[in-house]
Structure 1
């Protein structure tokens, strides 16, 4: 948590998002510190992945105690890894008007791709 806050502050991410949402593309590019910004997707996605694994561990422990599994179970680590890869590449290449927009678009595209790869590989294992 401290690492995420540090990277967020040092990269000026909040100001970049502020200017991006106001349509001030050049100002968004001017305030962001790319050296720190490139750490953010990795830290953020790693935190998401840790939370996912913790939830799986809790569900396993509850199952061992005889408590039934929840009806809806999350299976998205492929999405997290794709999100991290896409956000990092999008922020570093900045192919849209802003590193924020590029990171979000590339992150979602790669996240969906990572989830699809995981889904197809799991489906193939079921046969």
Structure 2
């Protein structure tokens, strides 16, 4: 049986932003319903087992010690990977779908890899090392929250990863001296 091809344009930016909003929403936007609901179920499971929502609640109320104490870090460190993967996959899948809609071969280049890997690494470091700000640097007290520090470092390292990826692609030169 032949698979029905969707001829609707999918904005990679919209897919990216839907995934930023909630894990799996970008996949639902792209029409990947089974995969999107699997990611949503994973998000719900990890969120619940890590006590992420109570930590967010305490963070927004300025009770950073309680935000730290309530998190189950064994589960909490899974969340950044799921989040980063969801963003990357939705963005790239929208690009591939648009190429297929036009009857073209999908690009060999993979987009936003540096940003998403940097996001995951930064978020994990931020979640894991947030207590350093709580104990040593009172000026950045807001970063003593595992939630805020994870987001802050995730964004910074994500953009650094994106810049490194762009720099690497500009420096990549094939044997004929052309930029790749």
TM over 0.5: yes
TM-score normalised per structure 1: 0.85
Matched, 1:54 2:90: no
Kindly report the root-mean-square deviation, in angstroms, between the aligned alpha carbons of the 2 structures. 1.8
Count of aligned pairs: 119
Runs of 5+ consecutive residues of structure 2 not aligned to the other structure? 1-39, 105-109, 134-143, 173-178
TM-score normalised per structure 2: 0.61
Runs of 5+ consecutive residues of structure 1 not aligned to the other structure? 66-73
Residue equivalent to 1:10 = 49
CA distance, structure 2, for counterparts of residue 61 and residue 116 of structure 1: 28
CA distance, structure 1, for counterparts of residue 53 and residue 78 of structure 2: 15
Higher Rg of the two aligned structures: 2
Conserved 8 A contact 2:114-2:165: yes
Deviation at 1:53, TM superposition (A): 2.3
Higher relative contact order (CA 8 A, sep 6+): 1
Conserved 8 A contact 2:88-2:116: yes
CA distance, structure 2, for counterparts of residue 26 and residue 50 of structure 1: 34
Which of 49, 64, 68 matches 1:29? 68
Residue equivalent to 2:23 = none
Residue equivalent to 1:45 = 84
Which of 144, 149, 161 matches 1:102? 149
